Amino acid sequence: MPDNKVNGFLEYLKKERSYSRHTIKAYETDLIQFSRFVKEYGGTGSFDVSSVDKKTVQHFVGSLTEKGLSPKSTGRKLASIKSFFRYLLKHAHVESNPASAVKAPKQHATLPKFLQKEVLEQVLSHSDKDDWQLKRDKTILELLYSTGIRLSELVAIDMGDVQIDQKTVKVFGKGGKERIVPFGGKAAEALGFYFKERNIHVQKDLDDNPLFISKQGLRISPRTVQSRLKKLFDSVAAGSGFTPHLMRHTFATHLLDHGADIRAVKELLGHASLSSTQIYTHLETEKMKKIFEQAHPHA
């Protein structure tokens, strides 16, 4: 069972910070694990927050590393402890935050994967045998590739958000932040054809006016988009590991390949800071290294 102060912190996250149930559960799991460690580490069998110092937290982080926990997961647990002690400090339960100066293990940056243009073109090729749902799926794919928007942003688009003559779409990103994203001619063409099919199959008495609809004529769900597009890719390249987020990486990578400014890509992706976008410059560096190694006599 969580400690009373942990319970107070979890209630604070729920009522004052409006965190999701899933996020609160993750905090609870991390803090229960930490409290158990403190009880064993101190040898008292109790979780006394005032007795926790920097060395205690460092030893906890070290124990996680010894158990083989990834740097990312260890960092998340450390972040939970830091948040917990910030709460305790704010409410005068402790005099300082012992975790504030503890550094998380360094994470090895994983370069984003992206799709080759040839695979994309093969998947997007049209056939007379395509039914309206398959045409919808390929329109979704064209829009994802042309805009780099997130899956959550895509399924939330309403008909009124699309200006096909202007080739722009209004999307709402993280925190409800609105942005206008341009799309290309192929996406505009695909949308034009899809609109005709949509108007036939959409339920007429809907309260909202979704752009992409399901087989039942309702707003399409993220899960349906994910499973339908994965099936589409697997039919061309089995085991492609396709996810809708892969289209976001592909969009950014192909833009930078053709000379786009990284700050423009940041705005198109809806990133809050440039640091989130700079992973793609690492990708460019890796490609340049390969070209150098293949071409330079002294490589």
Catalytic residues: 150, 174, 245, 248, 271, 280
Compute the distance between CA of residue 263 and CA of residue 268 in angstroms, rounded to an integer: 9
Sign of CA dihedral 290, 291, 292, 296: positive
Asked if 249 and 273 count as a contact pair (C-beta separation under 8 A), the reply is no
Asked if 285 and 155 count as a contact pair (C-beta separation under 8 A), the reply is no
Which 8-state DSSP code applies to residue 14?
A: H
Residue pointed to by tokens 């341009």: 182
294 CB-contact burial (10 Å; exposed 0-12 / middle 13-18 / buried 19+): exposed
Alpha helices, H only, 16-127: 21-42, 54-66, 71-90, 117-124
